Each structure stands twice: as structure tokens, then as C-alpha cells.
Amino acid sequence: MPKIKLYNNIAQIGLDQFTPDYEVNENMEDEDAILVRSANLHDIEYSNNLKAIARAGAGVNNIDIDTCTKKGIAVFNTPGANSNAVKELVFAGMLLASRDIYHGIEWIQTQKENENIVKDVEKQKKKYAGHELTGKSLGVIGCGAIGIQVANLALRFGMKVYGYDPYMSVDAAWNLSRYVNHVTNIDDLYRQCDFITIHVPLNDATKNFINKDSFDKMKDGVKLLNFARGGLVDEDALLDALDANKVAAYVTDFPSLKVIQNDKVIAIPHLGASTEESEENCAVKAAQELMDYLAYGNISNSVNLPNAKMDMNSPFRITCIHENKPKMISQITDILKDANIENLMNKSKKDIAYTIIDLDSEVDTTPIEKINGMIRVSTYKK
């Protein structure tokens, strides 16, 4: 019976996806898989039996991806499951920044004993006069599941939209409205946009993606939104840009002690995916990914292994996580020369490859496990 260890509170509808032949709870050892939301897994020891981790959400900064890859642990996330929730909050952020609703509400909260509130409102409101979104330009950096929805919805607000994503997938390109201006040079986006929203993952390549050089190229009075990850924006450069009025407002879902000191910062307590619908969608998707992997070795939405999915019509299946180097497949098939291979799939992702082999009968996989460059071998019976 596969054992699934839970971290954080996972929506019940997600847990209900597991069939009775799975053991699912928070207190277990030697688990086969982990289902997690935001708990920090960098400090835990990944056991040799651990085969998979599923993050009920998009970001995987709370998981040690390098260690997992070396141990042959598949790491899954749920891209798109929370995209609608984040999209809606991005627009709330744009409206807060554009209309200065935030500071207007702050003032109202100080007037609870004011008997002349009705008259004083009419005097005070001019301080919070803002701008409409219609006719303004929006730059979307990162046209993935969330960025596409933001870009497409902005068109309905009457905005002119620019999208930048050098790694845009074919599916993303199909889903992006043809009325979005696709820019290949991010400097063009910086120069033209009144609002800029960033939707890229945080990694070594994107840390401080928005920096002094970026701010220098932006329009004066630009409004910047960050509902992706805090580390994407260089906070020191941001504060300088706010003080110089280069940036009129910064709306972020990732407050830090440094940035919340500035009155031009509208900080939201990481509510992007905090809707009941989003949490349920993520939990269901993560549970389904784990079951498909543990039962059949199929991979969907892995951040460290290639996607590979094949119907299992044979009685015995072997999956191999191995280094992506020449002659690995031939070594595996040489070992299986006396078996009948009914189906085979090989996919790669950078330095890692994944091979699925279906056979008409069970075989000993020990020789395969000893191949130089082999990371993990798993077997499945129909």
C-alpha cells in the first residue's frame, strides 16, 4: 500500500481522490510520496524510499529540487490550478494602485468618531483621485498560465497589452489573444507600459529580474505589480525608484519588512492563491499526479523530470530515471534482450532522461539498476 505523507492542510476534495489502497496521513515514516502546500522541505531528510513530492500550487521554492533530482524523486506542481485566483487579485492590485483606493480607505478608518464625515468626504476625496485602466498600457512579463489570463482580461478593460516571454510554449501561444502585442525585446515593454506585472518563476536566473537597469528603462510613474515571487524584484533598487518617483506604486503579494516601510507600497499578505476554489483545484490536481506516477510511472507537470505518459496495456512496466547521455537506451534494451518489449518511451529534460518500458512478463531489474548513469529504476504490475 503506497504511503502519502501530508504537510499543511490539504483540501479534503484532494484527499478524497486517493483510493482506499493508499495510506494518507501526516504521521508516517518511510513514505512513498509527500503532498505539500507551503511547508519548507529543505530541512527534511529525503528518504531512499521517497519517490515523489507533489506541491499543491505552482511555486516549488520550498522543495530541494537538486537533491530530489539526484535521488530520483519526481517533483510535481500544479500549474494553472490557481491561475484564476491570482489573475483576479492582479486586477484588484491594479485598481488599488490606479485609483488610490488603498489610501482612501486608510483615511476613512481614522474618521470613525467624525460627526461631519459626510461633508469631510467630499473635501478629502480629491486627494485620492486616480486614473482609469482604459487606455493605459500593460506589460506582462511571463506568458504562462497566469500571465495569459491577465493579458487577455486586460484587453477587456480597454488596455493596450504587451507580452514578453522568450520561452512561450506552443499551447500558451494558442491561448494568448492575437490582440496582445508580443515583444521580443523586454526593453520595448519597459519603455511603453504604464503598468508592469511579472509572472515568472523564481530561480537563480530570475532572482532580482527587475533591477536598477530595469527601472532606468521604465516610464516615469510606472506602477509595478508582483504576484509571482518576492525575490524577483531587487528591493534596494525598488526603494530608490519609489523615492525618485520613477515608480508611482508597487503592489506585491510578498511583503518584506524593508518594502512595507514605504507609503507607495501596497502589500498584500500572500493571498494570490488563497481562495477555496484555488486550494481545491490544486489539491485535486496534485493528488491525481501522484497516483498516476505511483501506479503507472506516468509523469505530468514535473519540474525536474520530463513529462512522459503512456497507457499501460502490458502486465509489467519498468521506468528508469537516468542521466541524459548516449547509449543509455541501448544498454537497457541489451539487458532485456530475452524479454518481449511491447512498448517503449524515452523523454529528456536537460541532463535527466526518463524511459518507460512495457514488457509481456516480469523480469529482474537488478542489472539495469547497475548501469552507470542510472538514478532510479521502478517497476509496476498491471
* pLDDT tens-digit readout, 237-270: 999 999 999 999 999 999 999 999 999 999 999 9
pLDDT of residue 271: 94
pLDDT of residue 52: 98
Report the share of the chain in percent with pLDDT over 70. 100
pLDDT of residue 172: 80
How far apart are the C-alpha atoms of 377 and 348, rounded to whole Å?
16
- To the question of pTM greater than 0.85 for the whole model, the response is no
Is the confidence at residue 173, as pLDDT, over 90? no
Mean pLDDT, to the nearest integer, of 310-330? 97
How far apart are the C-alpha atoms of 180 and 171, rounded to whole Å?
15
List, as own/partner pairs, every contact residues 260-268 make where C-beta atoms lie below 8 angstroms and the sequence separation is at least 24, other chains included.
263/103, 266/93, 266/96, 266/97, 266/102, 268/89, 268/93
Angle, vertex CA 293, rays to CA 54 and CA 333, nearest 5 = 135
| 3-state SS assignment for residue 315 | coil
pLDDT of residue 171: 76
Taking a C-beta distance cutoff of 8 angstroms, is the pair 226, 59 a contact? no
Residue 247 per-residue DSSP state: E
pLDDT of residue 58: 85
What is the grid cell recorded at 282? 490544486
List, for residues 341-367, the tens digit of each pLDDT value: 999 999 999 999 999 999 999 999 999
Is the confidence at residue 154, as pLDDT, over 90? yes
pLDDT of residue 178: 93
Is the torsion defined by CA of 196, 198, 204, 207 positive or negative?
Answer: positive
Alpha carbon of 272 to those of 36, 56, 123, 341: distances in Å? 17, 14, 35, 47
Mean pLDDT, to the nearest integer, of 16-23? 96
List, for residues 185-230, the tens digit of each pLDDT value: 999 999 999 999 999 988 889 999 999 999 999 999 999 999 999 9
What is the grid cell recorded at 342? 511491447
pLDDT of residue 234: 98
- Residue 74 amino acid letter: A
pLDDT of residue 273: 86
